[in-house]
Structures are given as structure tokens and as C-alpha cells.
Amino acid sequence: MSGKDEAELSRLMRAAIAGDEKAYADFLHRIAALIRGFVRRKIVQGGVDPEDVVQETLLAIHVKRHTWRQDAPVLPWVYAIARFKLIDAFRRRGRRIEIDVDDIAETFAEPETETVSERDVHRALDTLPPAQRSVVSAISVEGHSIGETAAKFGISETAVRVSLHRGLAAIAKRFGRQ
Amino acid sequence: MRTEDLIKALDADISSKAMPLRSAWWLAAGMAVVVAAAVFWMTIGPRPDFMAAAHTMRFLAKFVFTIVLAASAFAFIRVLSTPGASTARALAWMAAAPLLVAVAVALELFMVPQALWGTRMVGSNMMICMGFIPLIGIGPLAIFLWMLRYGAPTRPVLAGTVAGLLAGGLAATFYAAHCFDDSPLFVATWYTIAIAALALLGALGGRFFVRW
């Protein structure tokens, strides 16, 4: 991980917070790959699926993005959240592990690609109220836009945005420390 | 759900807005001061000889201790609620208030004859002190714990404890304007116990309430 990546990712995140969807998608893809590399390196024994931690971390990054100070580097913030969610994932599954809090291994995390299996985030999606669930599914799994989703369900775009926002917040909350 | 699909959903939600954490902390601090002031004025209020007392060193020193505690705890809790922020400097500042109290205690022991140490320490209203500091501080503590939920503390129990110290420093600042016991011996004993009670409550709140 070089200073150039840090500068680029911070720039993307600033653009995203200003409302640039393309910059945000780019940021999330790159961050997801980095977190995946970090998490896989940290999980040496089984019991926790790395991809679950990747998704829970992305959700937390999303709902807590107002905690990033735009004049601070973005990667220490990202890795602090990833480490917290990783420890949480172990704790939730009743496993005690030691994670080196000041580990610098993350500095050398290499981007990695996803493996496919059943996901905790998907199971959490099933617990949402029907309206929120169908909106979140339409946009994520089916890949519709806000406008297409509004037309599909015959509701306003604002209603779609509200359902999406509340649905994501509710899913993120389910992964809060038990 | 594939991670790719989750990213689509997060991306579509980027336009939702939330107040930056830094601004939210200042707003919360303002609300906490208002709540503490309201409880203080509705219950005990300042002591009648406030203006005369304001000319004495011991009376003024109490505010130095409590305001330094509140200010350092406020700086520390803002760092603790931001993931990845460096805590070293804010943590070092947390030593300021205890050090000031320790120096004041040493000076008091030096200036006051040993026979009076006991009466100075016990004072005249320690029960009021131990009751009203937590009472004035409980509302602010609730506000600060809510703020921790809004933030993202990676060490929730520590952050909750600091929320208690912050609420304690704020409450003690108001209480000091009421209290007739100005000796550092009294402050070091009873204020500390009352603030520690809020810190313990804050730690519990951090453990059980601050989830994200």
C-alpha cells in the first residue's frame, strides 16, 4: 500500500461524500479488495468466513462515513473499522482470539477477489420488513437503479431512497456488538 | 448476497446525509451544558456568597480542576469515537487534572496544620456532593453515550468511561459553585468518588449500550 493509493482513495471518498456515485463505487471496490486481503491474512483458523467480515466492514464504513475526517488519511480509518468488525465476528461466534492491535501487516495487504457462499448479510436481509427487503434486493441482487425500482413497485424515488437507507441501517445494526 | 451486490446498494445510498461527527460532538456538548445548568439551577443553585468566594484561591482552584478534566475528556472522547485516530496526545492530557489536584493537595498539606487535615477532608456536605454531582451529570452522560453510538468507538468500554469523566467534570464544575468546601483535600476525596461513580456508569453504558 503506497502513499499514492492513500491519496487516491481519500480523494475518491471525498468525492463520494460530496455525492459522486461513480467515485463511491470505485472506492468501495478497491477498499473491499484490500479488506479481503487483510481479513484473510488474519483468520488463520476456521469458523469465520472472511467474506462475511468484508461485507460487515463495508456496511459499517457506509453507515459510519460521517466519522471520517476529510482532512485525515482514509486507510487508517478503514482498517480500524475492519479490525473492529473482525474481532466482533470472532466474539459473536464465541471464539476467543488474540489480534495484534498495532499490527502493521495491513500496510502490505494485497487486493484479493471474492469467493462465493451463503452470507450473513443476506440472512440479515431476510429479517427486514417486506417493503424494505424488496427495495434493497431490487437494487443489490437484481441490480436495478433507484428509478427502475420506483417504477417496478409503483412508488416515488424518494420512498425508494428512504426504504433503502433504513434497510441498510437496520442490517448494519444487526451486526452491532452483542 | 455477493459483495458486488452489496456495493450496488451502498452506492445507491450515498446521497443520504449525516452530520459530521465533529460538529455533532460540539452540538452534544452544548446540549449537555444546558441540561446540567437546568438541573443545577432547579435544585441547589450557587452558594449565596458566590461573589465573595470568587476572590479566594481555593474556590477558584476547584473550577480549574473540573474544567481541565472536562476539556481533556472532551478532546479524548472525540478521538475515541473516530476509528483510526491517534489517541496518544489526548490520553496524555487526561493526566492534567489529576496532577493539578495532586499539587494542590500537597500545597494544602504544607499550609494547613496537621490537626485540621481531617476536618478539611471530611468537610460539611460530602453527602450533598456525592448525590448532586451524579444527579447533575446523569443527563449529560446519557447525551454523551448517545453520541458514542452515533460515532464509531472501537474501544466502547474505554469510550464510555471517558463519557462518564466528561459528564463528571461538567457536573462538578456546576456543583463547585454551590459547594462550601473549598479545600483541595475535600475535592480530591469526594469529587473524585462522585465522578468515579459516573465513570463506572459510563463504562457499563459503553459495554451494553454502545453498539455499532
Quick check: B22 and A69 CB within 8 A?
yes
- Contact predicate B62/B174, CB 8 Å: no
Q: Which residues of B touch A86 (CB under 8 A)?
A: none
Output the pLDDT for position B1.
82
Q: What is the mean pLDDT of chain A?
A: 87
B27 touching A, CB under 8 A?
no
Inform me whether the pLDDT recorded for A153 exceeds 60. yes
Residue B2 lies in a domain: no
Q: Which residues of A touch B1 (CB under 8 A)?
A: 55, 119, 121-122, 125, 140-141
Q: Which of B12, B18, B83 sits opposite A139 (nearest CB)?
A: B12
Residue B7 lies in a domain: no
Full residue range of the structural domain in which residue B164 is found:
20-208
Q: Considering only residues A162 and A120, tell me which one the structure prediction assigns the higher pLDDT.
A: A162
Inform me whether the pLDDT recorded for A113 exceeds 80. no
Which class is domain A118-178? mainly alpha
Q: Considering only residues A110 and A166, tell me which one the structure prediction assigns the higher pLDDT.
A: A166
In angstroms, the separation between the Cα of residue B159 and the nearest Cα of chain A is 14
Q: Considering only residues A123 and B33, tell me which one the structure prediction assigns the higher pLDDT.
A: B33
Output the pLDDT for position A116.
57
Q: Considering only residues A1 and A94, tell me which one the structure prediction assigns the higher pLDDT.
A: A94
Q: What is the pTM of this model?
A: 0.91
Nearest to A60 by CA among A95, A39, A27, A84: A84
Written as one string, the DSSP assignment of chain B is --HHHHHHHHHHTTT-----HHHHHHHHHHHHHHHHHHHHHHTT-S-TTHHHHTTSHHHHHHHHHHHHHHHHHHHHHHHHTSTT---HHHHHHTTHHHHHHHHHHHHHHHHS-HHHHHHHHH-S-HHHHHHHHHHHHHHHHHHHHHHHHHS--SSHHHHHHHHHHHHHHHHHHHHHTT-S---HHHIIIIIHHHHHHHHHHHHHHHHHT---
Give the residue carrying C-alpha cell 456525592: B130
Inform me whether the pLDDT recorded for A1 exceeds 70. no
Q: Whole-angstrom Cα distance, residue A11 to residue B176?
A: 48
pLDDT band at residue A93 under the 50/70/90 scheme: confident
ipTM for this model: 0.91
Domain ranges (residues) in chain A: 1-113, 118-178
Give the residue carrying C-alpha cell 476467543: A96
Inform me whether the pLDDT recorded for A106 exceeds 60. no
Average confidence (pLDDT) over A25-53? 90
Q: Which of A54, A67, A139 sits opposite B9 (nearest CB)?
A: A139
Q: Alpha-carbon torsion B128, B133, B134, B140, what sign? A: positive
B residues 115..174 contacting A (CB < 8 A): 151-152, 154, 156
Quick check: B154 and A146 CB within 8 A?
no
Residue B96 lies in a domain: yes
Q: Which residues of B touch A51 (CB under 8 A)?
A: 3
B113 touching A, CB under 8 A?
no
Quick check: A141 and B5 CB within 8 A?
yes
A78 touching B, CB under 8 A?
yes
Q: Per-residue pLDDT tens for B105-145?
A: 999 999 999 999 999 999 888 889 999 999 999 999 999 99
Quick check: B83 and A59 CB within 8 A?
no
Residue B56 lies in a domain: yes
Residue B3 lies in a domain: no
Output the pLDDT for position A176.
73
Residue B14 lies in a domain: no
Residue B6 lies in a domain: no
In angstroms, the separation between the Cα of residue B138 and the nearest Cα of chain A is 24
In angstroms, the separation between the Cα of residue A111 and the nearest Cα of chain B is 14
Task: Return averaged pLDDT per consecutive 10 residues of chain B, 212 residues in all.
Answer: 93 93 98 98 94 93 97 98 96 98 97 94 89 97 98 97 98 96 95 98 96 89
Output the pLDDT for position A118.
64
Phi, psi of A48 (to 5 degrees): -125, 125
Inform me whether the pLDDT recorded for A101 exceeds 70. no
Give the residue carrying C-alpha cell 481519500: A10
Best mutation target among B2, B4, B14, B81 (most A Cβ atoms within 10 Å) is B14
In angstroms, the separation between the Cα of residue B155 and the nearest Cα of chain A is 9
Q: Which of A122, A164, A176 sits opposite B1 (nearest CB)?
A: A122
State the count of interchain CB pairs (< 8 A) between A and B.
Answer: 127
User: Which three three-digit cell numbers place residue A39?
Assistant: 481479513
HEC profile for chain A?
CCHHHHHHHHHHHHHHHCCCHHHHHHHHHHHHHHHHHHHHHHCCCCCCCHHHHHHHHHHHHHHCHHHCCCCCCHHHHHHHHHHHHHHHHHHHCCCCCCCCCCCCHHHHCCCCCCCCCCCHHHHHHCCCCHHHHHHHHHHCCCCCCHHHHHHHHCCCHHHHHHHHHHHHHHHHHHCCCC
Output the pLDDT for position B175.
97
Fold category of A1-113 in CATH: Rna Polymerase Sigma Factor; Chain: A (1.10.1740)
Total count of domains within chain B: 1
Contacts of B132 (CB under 8 A, 6+ apart): B43, B44, B171, B175, B178
